[in-house]
Amino acid sequence: MARQTVVYDPAVEAILGDGQQRQRARSMSKAERREAQRQADRVRVTLDVPDWLKARLMEAAEEEMCSASSLAAYLLMDGLRRWRRGEVDPPKTPSESPRFEWLVDVPEEDPTR
């Protein structure tokens, strides 16, 4: 006999999901709950970058003896701050995409200059 799929109202799904989440949390140690909450609080972003840029970020993180994620977050914040102040003007070219008017060019340069 085939198993029947039950579809609930989204509000009911949310309540059931919360109950299941609480049940899982009860079976965890305090340290596991803390780590699960830390992971849940993280904000993840996926960006498309050239391979050479990722490699340079990894090299810089190793040199700074920190995570690539924390270094990337700092550099993004610093770059955005400088952009807002008008200190940098990204080199742009027209986009062929209907979603974006411009593409920002990312030239491969030696970052030590």
Q: Is the pLDDT of residue 16 over 80?
A: no
What does the pLDDT look like over 17-74, one tens digit per residue? 677 777 777 788 888 888 888 877 787 888 999 999 999 999 999 999 999 999 999 9
Give 9's DSSP letter.
-
Q: Is the pLDDT of residue 11 over 80?
A: no
Give 27's DSSP letter.
T
Residues in the chain: 113
What pTM was computed for the model? 0.62
Q: Is the pLDDT of residue 5 over 80?
A: no
Give 4's DSSP letter.
P
Query: What is the pLDDT, as a whole number, of residue 87?
Result: 96
